[in-house]
Structure 1
């Protein structure tokens, strides 16, 4: 059995090659989620109309993704400690892109649930832990915050760029008077959008095979050695070590709170239409503005995390989410101004998006061995990403049961509660886990 390093490995790639690999990880890491998530977030009113769905029905389809993803996180963690990341990621991107063909056909609600369940496996079991492990290897011991921050910030920049292009494509295929467009015209325009996103996902898989090397650090034991059976047994034994780490459980609590806040950002465009009276194109543009906060927040806070403690910044980010959620919950009762809306949206967006670049960077603070990265990511993700199961249907239930202002008021009251949970978990991580790890 190979020895397990007590810290992240030392990078062996040249600066130029490291930049190319990180860029590829960014492209792959965002492209795989275009179909299941970027489209509903950017075009939620359009998707509901074209697919003839309610908010709750779309939420239940997305919940199917979350249910499968819980199992997939548990499976994908050990796999990332057994196999090299590049092969897993390439297969995941190709199989996810294939799902775009089914989405293009505008399937029924039942078929849409099956499709989301399929994506729950392809994007998580084969991809997520492998992406996190590759990023940790690339970051080395001293640049975890920058690596994870640039990864998520770059993903955000790519998302807003692609989203902007998709909004332009969609709008250009509709009449100048968007409100006068027929359902057939909206459907055809949206099918073009689906085709573009599926193609991007497939091309990202090819890029992974070309650019990402088999090894990125000087450490030889970033994956288990021996026969496949021996490696799987080593992975099983390592799970017990991870289960005994308090840092992993607190990290999971942080991810739960952060991901719930992130999932609530999908409500921005619907909030704009139902509370502020925006049309679907205006709502998509308003949501795009919030997406611009992702690269700024993730990269900025990621760089700061290499100079300050990432766990401290986690608390700061949850405070921003809390502040913005209080504003959005209050604005749902009145004050129909875009300026106030965007101030609150920007606050929640900065906090939620920065957290996405921080909650895996804190693994280095807790001194989790590199060889156990996949299993630690898997366990933290199984618990941490449970909002993938309940948050979308929960928001759909609130906005369908209490249409208009009241439903959105309740949505952001719930986000406030998650922000408070995140602050508590962050404080406990600093006071209990981080000192022991140091």
Structure 2
């Protein structure tokens, strides 16, 4: 493969990562506009997203099997084209049951077929000395593409006849882009059947999962990340809070949603990596700092009056909370390596810990929708935001649990390291 073909293939594959999940996670930017556009209630949409989360988690576990059995290139192309078709069908607002089924299929395509196959395709573009650079560039390009399409989407929604019309057109455009990228993968990307990335197995075996279940770090890592991911899952619900209770105009909501969802993706990650390594000198310690920051920020939200006078303070606090969450996302998968989990067990630990870590996506959207109800209606407790109080307290409790889990992780690791010299002496 020529260098030009290699980097063109890499660019196309990276761009797919910025498009494939746009509709599945559109709520992070256009929550209220999306469920209104699809003729759904907030609770119905929350239920659909929870089912999507369950299907995505299952897809993660079976994705490795598909990547081992079939051509990664064809899987990525099929998943992109299929996702594009589903996006277009969703934009027809076919009703609750149909949208639910379409989201389940979309989750299967994204996590069951696309993700593991993409990892293999990226891996085969370079030798063992280029893997870190390739996957680092992948995240960077994904972040840039997501940001560009996010701002373009905010402009489309803001300039449309209504936000409802704008969101439907945006979903259609995402669908067309996914189809075009799928065709580009099929026609341009070339896979090397002799690449070590193709020969390596992606499937997590039952034996690996059993070993992982016996490893205490699996549960400490999994539930620590779950406490973080719950905050990420709830970030989309800050848009209606800012709009309806702090008076932020609808025109700014889309822009703020893009900044919160995509800009912080490639800004907070690199910073957190440096701070965790050079400042905290420990990923669990860094996560504990972020949990403490989260508690402070949410505590201010709890006591702060909800009116326009505090609008920009609320926006600043939301951005600080977003930074803390994305900073954690940038480093938390360094935990298995930092805890020196053996290579032959690491796949099982990451697989099982991932299933635990992303559990909030399976229930929290539905639960948060139930807490908050219709954010445009008068809240149960106007001066405190009604169901938002419950959500903030829930996240504070999870942050406290996260502090406990990371503390246990640090102490366990300290004891293990303390035993190394004595064992060497014997």
TM-score normalised per structure 2? 0.80
Structure 1 equivalent of residue 391 of structure 2: 411
> Are 2:171 and 1:194 equivalent residues in the alignment?
yes
Structure 2 equivalent of residue 257 of structure 1: 227
Q: What does the per-residue CA deviation read over 1:382-437, in whole Å, with 9 as the maximum and x for residues that have no partner?
A: 21111111111111111118556122222222222222222222223333258648
1:26 shift after superposition: 4.4
> Are 2:383 and 1:383 equivalent residues in the alignment?
no
SS in 1 for 2:336: helix
1:360 shift after superposition: 1.9
CA distance in structure 1 between the aligned counterparts of 2:406 and 2:127, rounded to whole angstroms? 23
Structure 2 equivalent of residue 76 of structure 1: 63
Describe how 1:45-64 pairs up with structure 2 within 5 A: 45-64=32-51
CA distance in structure 2 between the aligned counterparts of 1:421 and 1:134, rounded to whole angstroms? 38
User: Given the alignment, which residue of 91, 103, 112 partners 2:99?
Assistant: 112
The verdict on how the C-alpha distance between 1:424 and 1:221 changes in structure 2, with shifts beyond 3 A counting, is farther
Q: Which moved more, 1:304-313 or 1:244-253?
A: 304-313
Structure 2 equivalent of residue 275 of structure 1: 245
> Are 2:61 and 1:91 equivalent residues in the alignment?
no
Structure 2 equivalent of residue 65 of structure 1: 52
Gaps of 5+ in 1: 1-12, 175-180, 225-231
Describe how 1:340-355 pairs up with structure 2 within 5 A: 340-355=313-328
CA distance in structure 1 between the aligned counterparts of 2:255 and 2:344, rounded to whole angstroms? 43
User: Given the alignment, which residue of 265, 272, 281 partners 1:301?
Assistant: 272
Structure 1 equivalent of residue 200 of structure 2: 222
Structure 2 equivalent of residue 286 of structure 1: 256
The verdict on how the C-alpha distance between 1:82 and 1:389 changes in structure 2, with shifts beyond 3 A counting, is same
1:354 shift after superposition: 2.0
The verdict on how the C-alpha distance between 1:359 and 1:97 changes in structure 2, with shifts beyond 3 A counting, is farther
Q: Which moved more, 1:302-311 or 1:120-129?
A: 302-311
Would you say the 8 A contact 1:325–1:416 is kept in 2? yes
> Are 2:355 and 1:400 equivalent residues in the alignment?
no
User: Given the alignment, which residue of 358, 365, 384 partners 2:331?
Assistant: 358
Q: What does the per-residue CA deviation read over 1:103-137, in whole Å, with 9 as the maximum and x for residues that have no partner?
A: 12112112121122222222222234555677899
SS in 1 for 2:24: helix
TM-score normalised per structure 1? 0.78
Structure 1 equivalent of residue 15 of structure 2: 27
The verdict on how the C-alpha distance between 1:415 and 1:112 changes in structure 2, with shifts beyond 3 A counting, is same
SS in 1 for 2:151: helix
SS in 1 for 2:23: helix
Structure 2 equivalent of residue 10 of structure 1: none
Gaps of 5+ in 2: 421-426
Higher relative contact order (CA 8 A, sep 6+): 1
CA distance in structure 1 between the aligned counterparts of 2:66 and 2:9, rounded to whole angstroms? 21
CA distance in structure 1 between the aligned counterparts of 2:265 and 2:123, rounded to whole angstroms? 20
Would you say the 8 A contact 2:32–2:42 is kept in 1? no
